[in-house]
Amino acid sequence: MPDDPRSRATPVPGIFGPDEAEPRDVPPGADAPADRGARATPDPSVPAPAPEPDPDAPQDAVIVEESIRLTEEELVEQAKAATRARAKDVADLFVSYGKAHLPERTPRPPAEPQPPPKLKGRIGQIIPFLQVIPWLLALVFVGSFFWDFPGATLPIGGLAIPLDGLLRVLSVSGLIGFGTNWLAITMLFQPREKRAILPQGLIPAQRERVIYRLSEAISKELINADIIKQKIQDSGAIPRYRDMALGVVRGVVEDPGFRGDLREIASGYVHDVLQRPDFRRELTRLAAEKMEEQAGQGLGGAVLRLYRSVAEDDFQRRLDRALDEIPGTIEPLLDRIDTALDAIPPKIEARSEEIEALATNAVLGFVEQLDVRTMIVEKARDFDEGQLENLLKSTSNEQLNYIKYLGAILGVFGGLVIWQPIGALVAFTVISLAVWGLDEALVRMRRAA
């Protein structure tokens, strides 16, 4: 009787079965020879004890394991980089189509407030003539040294009022009135820097305080967080932009070109990843491990291991073909993109009120974080003394000039009081009451009309 080939084969537990792990030439019921080293068949339900680590064993296995783990981490990072790149492509695609679907808007320049008109009426008309008064007073003062009513008198009510020296008194009083007002206004801004003897200008000396007070007044009365929030709510900008954004999203996701480009990006992403040798090798290894894990330690696992031991190349080719077929199998998954895109506009529209509330709260929260006063203070501190002077003069220069020239007129009236105190005071009182009464009557007539 020829020898059974299986009696010479290396026993493979789990392939030939527990009864066929030993040669068949032993008669049934006979004990196995002691020199054959017969062993009891291991019970599959009892896990094999873990082998004790050999301290003398080489560390090559540990090094290989660390190398594999490092390679896996590198592959993960590469996959993340590829994913980020494709995500950027998707974002750029959406932005590109979003710009195409934006509604056309006619650019309108911001409405700039018109500057207030200059001073009109009689006061505005006489300001150019008031500028001549200081020069006339200077000429009269110079002329008083040559002629000033020598020995002349003015008869009033049987009284002879002397006129000698009247021109000099009036001219000097007028020039003093103009000069004091001019000096007071000039000292508001000049000198800009500290001097050794002369005092520094009032506004440059109190620059920080002026800036603080000015900023405080603006932030409290003119522009603050409450005013900005009220303006945003009254303008209806958030609902308007919400509707515009919803229209843009609807137009983009319903655009056939956008859907086609998005499918190409998704398909190209899968194709590019699967064409990378490192990724294919790692995915093949993971697939093989998963197959062995699913096959388990029974007959299926043993057959798989045997197959790999005798036909590893064929096994790898089959896995490669499976990987090559993956791009063709994702078409049904790509069809789900259209379904997902179709669901986006209704979901956004259903939550439009919530989105509007969130956007409003976000904008108002940002406004509340603004420290308007600090912003104004920091901006105003960038102004030097010259810029600050120009800023203040640009709003009140005409009024300041009017005050200067009015000082010359009041100075002349003061000179008349010096010349004839009682008579001048009586005359000024009568004239002032008459002018005030006439003005009040005209105002009441205008209101009544």
pLDDT number for residue 239: 80
Total domains, the chain: 1
87 in a structural domain = no
238 in a structural domain = no
Helix (H) and strand (E) counts in the chain? 19, 2
pLDDT number for residue 116: 59
413 in a structural domain = yes
Q: List, run by run, the mean pLDDT of 10-residue segments along the chain (449 residues).
A: 41 38 43 42 45 46 42 69 78 79 66 58 69 89 86 76 83 90 86 79 79 77 73 77 82 82 78 70 68 62 58 65 65 74 81 80 75 76 76 75 86 86 86 90 87
Q: Which domain holds residue 155?
A: 121-188+397-442
Residues 128-185 have pLDDT tens digits of 888 888 899 899 889 888 887 887 777 777 777 778 888 888 889 989 999 999 998 8
pLDDT number for residue 7: 41
SS (H, E, C) 202-259: HHHHCHHHHHHHHHHHHHHHHCCHHHHHHHHHHHCHHHHHHHHHHHHHHHHHCCHHHH
171 in a structural domain = yes
To the question of pTM greater than 0.85 for the whole model, the response is no
DSSP states of 110-157: --PPPPPPPP-HHHHHHHHHHTTHHHHHHHHHHHTTT-S-TT-EEEET
